[in-house]
Chains A and B, each alone.
Chain A
Amino acid sequence: MSQALVPALLNLLFRAFVVLLLPPLIPGLITKIKAWMAGRSGPPVLQLYYDLAKLARKQAVFSRTTTWVFLAGPVGTVAALLVASLLIPLGHTAPLLAFEGDVILFAYLLGLGRFLTVLSALDTGSAFEGMGAAREVSFSALAEPALFFGFAALARATGSLSLTPMLQSHGMWTAGHLSGPLMLILAGWGIVFLAENSRIPVDDPNTHLELTMIHEVMVLDHSGRPLALILYGASLKLVVLGALLVDPLLPVLSKGWLNGLAFLGGITLLAVVVGLVESTTARFRMNKVPQFLVAGVLASAFAFLLLLV
């Protein structure tokens, strides 16, 4: 009894650590890599933790235009992401919840977060925030099919409709006929990852011109604790969607804690890669973004086609 209980408890602690404590580190890492690439020393890696602690103490200001929907955006996004994080496997550690069709619930929970964020932006009545909201829903309409084609290909390759077996089937990388489709899926999802997390080349979190932003312009009016929730939610999204990219690539190791460590390593590596991509590419013009996303759709659709032959 206790022999089964201790690993389960440790696994739970590991998940809590990854979901609750780890996320703010990832944007810090990305910023650090970008700073190094540019020859600067950059802000400390833990900067986002300091920011969150500061915002949690600050008072929030609500515009007189807003209603409760304004608060529902950040709150609903974080709640939906936390529930989605229950469904996603972290490397090859034991899953918390896995059932047939949880893939769809996972994707729609992300959609719920987007819906509420967009509404909370429209609640301010600002033209800039409306612009960001319109861009967000337009681009996500292309990201969604890319995500689902990838799921379809993985479901076909693994014969399962649940996230955990789909992402943890370690045979894919080594089996020759599956590695090609997997690379295409990861390419498609990589594009989705960059778009959904508003990274360069789709969006630039650090730009200073509101007219050119997508995600950041939607949260211009939030302050204090709601803003803290938004920042934490954005970093949690990096981890949750990052797990989609990292999991299929990880090898299966003999011990549970080694698998956990491998996941942490994978996520760190992903942050480094994102930092490198951001340092070496420029942002697309807004009208080029759909073409980039369509490339993602095509990549995952080709992955599915390859699995048919």
Chain B
Amino acid sequence: MSLYLLSLLLAAGSGIPGLFLRRRGAEVAAGLMTASALAGIGAALGVLAGGPVPSLRLPALALTSPSLLVLDAIAAWFLIPVLLLAACGAWYGVRYWEDAHGHPRWVRLVFGGLTAALILLVAAAHTWLFLLAWEAMAIGAFFLVSTEDRLPETRRAAWIYLVSTHTGTLCLIGAFALLAGVAGTWDLGALPRGFASSRLGTQTFLLFMVGFGLKAGVMPIHIWLPPAHAAAPSHVSALMSGVLIKMGILGMVRLIAWVPDPPLWWGALFLGLGGVSGILGVAFALGQHDLKRLLAYHSIENIGIILLGLGLGLIGKSTSQSALAALGFAGALLHVLNHSLFKGLLFLAGGSVVHATGTRNLERMGGLAKAMPWTSAAFLTGSWAICGLPPLNGFVSEWFIYLGAFRAMAGARWPWSVGVLAALALIGALALACFAKAYGTAFLGTPRTPAAAAAHEAPRMMLLPMAVLAGACVLIGVFPMVIASALDRAIAGLGQALPASSRLAHLPLVTVLALTLALLALGLARWAWAGRRSEPVPAELPTWDCGYAEALPRAQYTASSFADGLVTGARWALFPKVHEAQVQGPFPEPARFESHVPDLVLDRVLDPAFRLGSRGLALLHVFQTGQLPVYLLYVLLTLLFLLIWMVV
């Protein structure tokens, strides 16, 4: 426990020395965060290696509870990505968020506080501590999102985030109160049998789903996620997308662990939400031109994949198919880790691009692979992994979920999980399209603007964290055996005795095939490269462009054109907006064409609804005259009305 507490304190205090140091404050903060990560990951690995489960008891603060903090296998599993991303983000932030952007000390202080809140949250075993840490996390993230509050869109994003996170907290308070009423204690732990199927259990479950779902960004209630991720500094976006939204998943995982007998419809609800989030998440991502918004919608998609895994696991738990439960839970938990690795990597690489070009708009980039070769390689690794392509880590976790779905379907008891298969296949194909678009538009081809042509490679201090995350992606992808036993311990915490790796005796074969693939590719590349033009050429030759003298940068396919076929195909869900001027007459005026995909829920439903609501409420202004006698008259009338009502 002391290692864990040390990690907590180091993280919480990492920003404090920087307040008093004239220079090198960022390096000190990053160093402290690294020490915190080493201590915390050490503690977590100890637990996942089968060591004793440390817990903290404070009899003085007993609050009728046996323990405040328990670092069990699930907590340890979630703690590792938190600390890894926090340390990588802190080093990245040293050069990324310098004085030019404003408030670097404040950002470091809050970043440390947010990390500490996350560390506290994963191990919280007491309701009040859980809610306290939850709130600290929400507030910390709000401050970080609103860092650049001089921009109106940032202020808007921060307010939307604050409102939705507090709506979620309200639901959680209600749910925990109901739970405490049943258990008779504020302690978080196993629930009695039969509770889940009762009416009260259903209400609690739904409240939890809204509370945790709002944080995780499940599709109909994801509204805060795209604007907040786009507005926050990139290393903060990496932490938010990588681990903060996973705290919603942590809550759901805890809930599953507490309930011994979940009803079947819980699993079905998870699958439905997962399918909607996954498919619509990636479909909306296809329509974005803003690099960070695009990545944010992909977070929704990946949360969908995780929910699909949890849903399959829940169905396995309800119907006592332990193999199915093991595969579903293992896939979901592994995807939690994997997504934090590759999405962290993508946000950091994307941040470097934004830093270098000064824009988040994909259509103003292009050709960056030449100027930023390492960042480009990092972004490609992240894209490769997030599409679930072998031999990187995304494939391994999606594979578990696929296997679970196949097993559920072949087992004659739940044939409808074929929908999960189809959804995963569609998500995979669309994610591939979307990342081909993002990587291709930003890094390949020729620069579309002077700013993109003048881009420079990110400094080493920013490349190193990306290298660490990319290395982790490759490691888990090529050698999935290394995490197998830790994963088994984590799903054992979900009441799942059967280890998932026992279902996959062939995991080493993945390594063999991955290495074969790499060797083949190297050999072929050598052979093909040896055949390049050897004699000196006067000047390097341009791309052959079907008879045009030379490919113009502006004639390249844009991100919007690339995705147009798919966006138009899905217009029944995306409702893309197109602004085009009519071209008329023999000498037409210059015309503009613009298209974008606004968010379905926020921009199309909530915004108009709230505007209508406030216009309706404005009608009440008639009654607000601002004169005291009139208000006294209202009081009198009310009293009179109450008097009559009581008499009658």
Contact = CB atoms under 8 A, between A and B. Distances in A.
Contact of B533 (A61, A122, A133): A61
Contacts of B566: 137-138, 141
B513 A119 contact: no
B184 interface: no
B425 A147 contact: yes
Contact of B557 (A58, A64, A127, A149): A127
A75 B528 CA distance: 8
A101 B402 contact: yes
A65 B545 contact: no
Contacts of B366: 125
B429 A124 contact: no
Contact of B444 (A67, A127, A135): A67
B92 interface: no
Interface in B488-528: 503-504, 506, 509-510, 513, 516-517, 520-521, 524-525, 527-528
Contacts of A61: 532-533, 541
B395 interface: yes
Contacts of A131: 557, 561
Which of under 10, 10 to 19, 20 to 34, or 35 or more describes the interface residues of B?
A: 35 or more
A127 B555 contact: yes
A72 to B, nearest CB: 8
Nearest to B392: A112
Contact of A99 (B428, B444, B506, B564): B506
B367 A152 contact: no
Given A58-B531, A99-B506, A221-B543, A123 B436 contact: no
A149 B425 CA distance: 9
B241 interface: no
A65 B446 contact: yes
A64 B367 CA distance: 11
B440 A115 contact: no
A108 to B, nearest CB: 5
Contacts, number: 249
A145 B367 contact: no
Contacts of B503: 100
A62 B542 CA distance: 8
A265 B502 CA distance: 40
Interface stretch (A34-42, A224-232, A252-260): A224-232
B546 interface: yes
A161 B532 contact: no
A130 interface: yes
Interface stretch (A7-15, A76-84, A198-206): A76-84
A59 interface: yes
Contacts of B384: 115
Given A111-B428, A156-B415, A159-B410, A220 B546 contact: yes
B410 A156 contact: yes
A130 B556 contact: yes
Nearest to B433: A137
A304 B553 CA distance: 48
B418 A75 contact: no
Contacts of A129: 557
A241 to B, nearest CB: 16
Contacts of A169: none
A45 interface: no
Among A76, A127, A225, A301, which residue has the most Cβ atoms of chain B within 10 A?
Answer: A127
A95 interface: no
Interface in B566-588: 566, 569
B532 A62 contact: yes
Contacts of A72: 521, 525
Contacts of B439: 119, 122
B513 A127 contact: no
Contacts of B367: 65, 125
* Interface of chain A: mostly helix, strand, loop or mixed: helix
Interface in A152-211: 152, 155-156, 159-161, 210
A145 B422 CA distance: 5
A97 B403 contact: no
B309 to A, nearest CB: 14
B354 interface: no
A64 B542 contact: yes
Interface string B531-552: 1111000011111111000010
A52 B422 CA distance: 38
Contacts of A224: 528, 531-533
B375 to A, nearest CB: 13
B389 A111 contact: yes
Contact of A63 (B418, B510, B541, B546): B541
B557 to A, nearest CB: 3
Contacts of A48: none
A210 B555 CA distance: 15
A272 B22 CA distance: 78
Contacts of B565: 134-135, 138
Contacts of A25: none
A100 B510 CA distance: 12
B409 interface: yes
A145 B426 contact: yes
B378 interface: no
Nearest to B520: A79
Contacts of A149: 418, 421-422
A159 B534 CA distance: 56
Nearest to A113: B389
B403 A101 contact: yes
Among A64, A75, A137, A159, which residue has the most Cβ atoms of chain B within 10 A?
Answer: A137
17 contacts: A61-B533, A63-B540, A100-B506, A108-B388, A108-B390, A119-B440, A124-B445, A124-B551, A126-B544, A126-B556, A127-B545, A130-B562, A137-B566, A138-B569, A141-B433, A145-B429, A308-B415
Interface of B: 366-367, 369-370, 373, 376, 380, 384, 387-390, 395, 398-399, 402-403, 406-407, 409-410, 415, 418, 421-422, 424-426, 428-430, 432-433, 435-437, 439-441, 444-446, 503-504, 506, 509-510, 513, 516-517, 520-521, 524-525, 527-534, 539-546, 551, 553, 555-557, 561-566, 569
Given A115-B432, A115-B436, A220-B544, 20 more contacts: A59-B531, A65-B445, A65-B551, A67-B444, A69-B380, A75-B521, A105-B390, A105-B399, A122-B557, A123-B369, A125-B444, A127-B551, A127-B556, A133-B557, A138-B569, A145-B422, A156-B415, A225-B530, A301-B422, A304-B418
Interface of A: 56, 58-67, 69, 71-72, 74-76, 78-80, 82-83, 86, 97, 99-101, 103-105, 107-109, 111-112, 114-115, 118-119, 122-131, 133-135, 137-138, 140-141, 143-145, 147-149, 151-152, 155-156, 159-161, 210, 220-221, 224-226, 229, 290, 301, 304, 308
